[in-house]
Chain A
Amino acid sequence: MSAILDRIDQRLLRETAGLHSIPRGAYNIRKNGVGIARESTANIEIRSKADQSGIEVIVKPGTKNESVHIPVILSAEGFSDVVTNKFDIGEGSDVLVVAGCGVHNSGSADSRHDGIHEFLIRRGARMRYVEKHYGEGQGKGKRILNPVTVINVEEGGVAELELVQIRGVDSTNRETRISLSRDARLIVTERLLTNGEQDAVSRISVDLVGDDSTARVISRSVARDRSSQVFYFDLRGRSRCRGHVQCDSIIMDEAQVRSIPEISAHHCEAQLVHEAAIGRIAGEQLLKLMSLGLTREQAESTILDGFLK
């Protein structure tokens, strides 16, 4: 590991992919626009796309309890990376895909990664997808991440998405589009924290195309200092389906949060709900924890950690 990855790289990998060493199972590590390590397994093949614009990950039908790690590291100052990866999750399989991008920028020019991930979750397959974004470095150059995730879930398939961005990303414009066939199920949990002058935009749109498809989107965010966040949720019921969007934001200091949820039914048996709330930490919550002996700062961070867990 240390032969190809320096200490910064290792830290970025730990933060984004929870990796302390080369992962077991299939993986592909991309650093500053170049693949630096790759491993396929008997059931999961990773190969470069013909046009070299990214990778293709093919999971064989029936593959169970295997994982794919595809972290991206950006440590070169002022580097701009665009990649399009495709995933084919075979019928009846059950896999974990861990993606994520760690940016270290100590320079004055912006570092940017635009990752496009396209998934096809085939009939009866289940995919858990974890995407973590992390930035660090003292330079004036911004750390910018603009991920696009497009997922098609076939009949009876399940997609569970965990999208996390907690630290150090100056600007993000995230787009997530999902289409669900008959009996398909989607759970999205989004966690976002911005501070300083950071800005984040997240769009999640879900098309419930097939009968008995279900979608649940839970978004929680914390906006501190002078940061800003904008959320767009668009849930479209095109069949006999159920969908629920729940978005909560804690606002602090001089931050700004906009939440724009939309639900639209194109079928009389579509049941769609959205709940949205923005507010500061309730005084009673702070008092309760302080009455257990926590200082105000400890109480505040306990509340925020729990909220974003």
Chain B
Amino acid sequence: MLVLERVSYTPADRTCLEPIVQDASLELRDKHLYVITGPNGGGKSTLARLIMGIIKPTSGRVLLDGQDVTDMTVDERARLGIGYAFQQPPRFKGLTVRDLLTLAAGNRAGDQDVASLLLSVGLCPKDYENREVDATLSGGELKRIELASILARNLRVAVFDEPEAGIDLWSFRRLAQTFEEMHDKSDATIVIISHQERILELADEIILVADGRVKELRSRDEVMKDIRDEEACRCSLETREGVEEHVGYFRQN
């Protein structure tokens, strides 16, 4: 279980005087899939980076299975089983897809493992394993390889920062499937930052983050019902406005 205990974060460089994350407390259980959603700039990615240790909280604690990891570095947390898929994964000149996935698997991956990892993210191993993870890969290809680098690891907590960003429609369907399989097969706590309804549908629980605060943590069914009700309202409102606009136009002319 991963616990965030009253975690706050204000950048040290004072580019922002308000905390980006404020007093966030969460208990994320094993074998559960959580989706963090909420408006842009609300602090979702910052929360994910706090879990991985890329940034350190200004106050509060992060605990993994009761162990305080607040002061641990990224690599120390990684070795304890926390993983993080970057929203915009970096590129590496000279490092091949195989190199990266072998590293991700802790050098345990054989050729067959690399091939099956690539297949599970919808990439043909023959075409990709010897390619460099550089600018010749498209954004979508890079995101899939990033995903494979997380699947390669035996994780206790896997955090995905907007995995759907930059992914085309076909890959998106595949992506949702991949998360579903991961959720079925592994005991890991899965945390996905997403705005997509299809991803929200996968969640056991949905966490709404806005203005740097955890606004609520609710079951998927409750949230999805609200979303659909709200959409229905918006839709009927838009229709009404649209009709009024047209009526107005005809009256004027």
A residues contacting B by CB (< 8 A) are 220, 248, 282, 284-285, 287-296, 299, 302-303, 305-309
Contacts and interface: CB of A to CB of B under 8 A. Distances in A.
Interface centre among A248, A291, A303, A309 (most CB of B within 10 A): A291
Interface residues of B, number: 23
B87 to A, nearest CB: 11
B78 A306 contact: no
A302 B95 contact: yes
B52 A308 contact: no
A295 B77 CA distance: 11
Nearest to B104: A292
B128 interface: no
Given A292-B104, A292-B149, A285 B92 contact: yes
A292 B78 contact: yes
A284 B94 CA distance: 16
A248 B93 contact: yes
A303 B133 CA distance: 12
A303 B91 CA distance: 10
Contacts of B103: 289, 292, 294, 302
Contacts of B74: 287, 290-291
B99 A292 contact: no
Contacts, number: 58
A302 B93 CA distance: 11
Given A220-B93, A287-B90, A289-B103, 10 more contacts: A220-B94, A248-B93, A290-B78, A292-B103, A293-B106, A294-B103, A305-B94, A306-B92, A306-B95, A309-B94
Contact of B75 (A248, A296, A302): A296
A294 B75 CA distance: 6
B157 to A, nearest CB: 12
A239 to B, nearest CB: 29
A221 B92 CA distance: 14
Contact of A308 (B54, B83, B94, B149): B94
B79 interface: yes
Nearest to A289: B103
Interface of B: 52, 54, 73-75, 78-79, 83-84, 86, 88-90, 92-95, 99, 103-104, 106, 149, 153
B94 A306 contact: yes
Contacts of B83: 291-292
A215 to B, nearest CB: 20
B90 A288 contact: yes
Contacts of B90: 282, 284-285, 287-288
Nearest to A294: B75
A291 B78 contact: yes
Given A293-B106, A294-B103, A303 B75 contact: no
Interface centre among B52, B73, B78, B99 (most CB of A within 10 A): B78
Contacts of B79: 293
Contacts of A287: 54, 74, 90
A86 to B, nearest CB: 34
Contacts of A285: 90, 92
Nearest to B96: A306
B62 to A, nearest CB: 15
A252 to B, nearest CB: 16
B241 to A, nearest CB: 44
Nearest to A297: B75
B52 A291 contact: yes
B75 A306 contact: no
A309 B133 CA distance: 14
A220 B106 CA distance: 28
Contacts of B149: 292
Nearest to B54: A287
